[in-house]
Amino acid sequence: MKAAASAAGTIRAVTGSGVRRISLANPPLNVLTTEMLNELADAVNTVDADTHAKVLLLTGEGPRAFCAGVDVVDHTPDRVHEMIHAFARAVAAILDAKVPVVAALNGAALGGGFELALACDIVLARDGVSVGQPEIRLGVFPPVAAVLLPRLVGRQAALDLILTGRMIQAEEARALGLVAATFPADSFEERVDGYVHHLAGQSAPVLRLAKRAVNAGAERTLAQALREADRIYLEELMALHDSHEGLAAFMEKRLPAWRDA
C-alpha cells in the first residue's frame, strides 16, 4: 500500500488492492480552499500513471461531510479568479481521468463539494445525506453544476436545483439519477469498499476502454457514437488478451486470469 499527503496535509492519497483513495481531509466539513483544489488536481492527475490503480475513490474524512463547498473567503473579488481557475483544474482532472472515478458521499455534499461529485463517474452515498447547490442564496450560481446538471438530469430538474438552492437527500438524488446507490450508515465504508474492489477485480484496460466508449457516446451524435463504440470494441478491445480470456473463462466455467490487469 502506498500513501501520500499534500503539503498542507488536507489531501490524502492511498493506493492499495487496485484502488487509489483520495480523501478531502479538512474536517469537520472538508471545506475546500484554493490551495486544496490545486493539490486535489495534482493528486488526481497522477492516478493514470499509477500502474497499481484501476479505480479512483474520492471521499471526505469525518462523519459530517463529504465536502461543504469552497471557503467563502475565496469567493471575494481579490481571490475569486484564482479560485475558479483552481476549481476548473480539479474538475477537469476528474473528468479526464482514464480510470473510473467513484465518489463516496460519507456526509453532506454541498456547493462545490456536490459539483466535485457530479464530475465523478459513479456516486455512492450514505443513507440520508444532504446534497445540493445552495449558491443562489449567496447571490451567485454554481458554474460547474450549470453545465453538468442539465446533462445528467435534464434542463428542468437542473434549474429546479440551481434556482431554488434547495437541499435534497440521497434517496431523491438517486431517483434523479445523480446517485448510483445508497448504503446504510453502519455499513457504508464496508459497502463502498466492496463496490470499488469489485471494480478493481476487473481487467484494467477493459475498464478504461469501457469508460472511454461511454464517454464517446455522450459527446457524439447517436450514429457517430455507435460507430466509435464499435471501433473501440473491434480495434482496441479485441486486441487485448483479457477480452479473449474473459470469454474463454466463462465458457470453461472458471474464473478469468487477467493478464493485463
Which of residues 167, 182, 200 is at a domain's end? 200
Same domain? For 130 and 15 the reply is: yes
Asked whether residue 261 is assigned to any structural domain, the reply reads no
Which is the catalytic residue, given 82, 135, 189, 235?
135
C-alpha grid cell for residue 230?
464499435
Same domain? For 92 and 194 the reply is: yes
* Range(s) of the domain holding residue 222: 204-251
Give per-residue pLDDT as tens, 122-147.
Answer: 999 999 999 999 999 999 999 999 99
Annotated catalytic residue 115: yes
Which of residues 159, 175, 200 is at a domain's end? 200
Annotated catalytic residue 172: no
Which is the catalytic residue, given 115, 189, 190, 245?
115
Same domain? For 85 and 154 the reply is: yes
pLDDT in tens, the chain (261 residues): 666 666 568 999 999 999 999 999 999 999 999 999 999 999 999 999 998 899 999 999 998 999 999 999 999 999 999 999 999 999 999 999 999 999 999 999 999 999 999 999 999 999 999 999 999 999 999 999 999 999 999 999 999 999 999 999 999 999 999 999 999 999 999 999 999 999 999 999 999 999 999 998 887 887 887 788 788 889 999 999 999 999 899 999 999 999 876
pTM, full prediction: 0.91
Number of domains, the chain: 2
Asked whether residue 100 is assigned to any structural domain, the reply reads yes
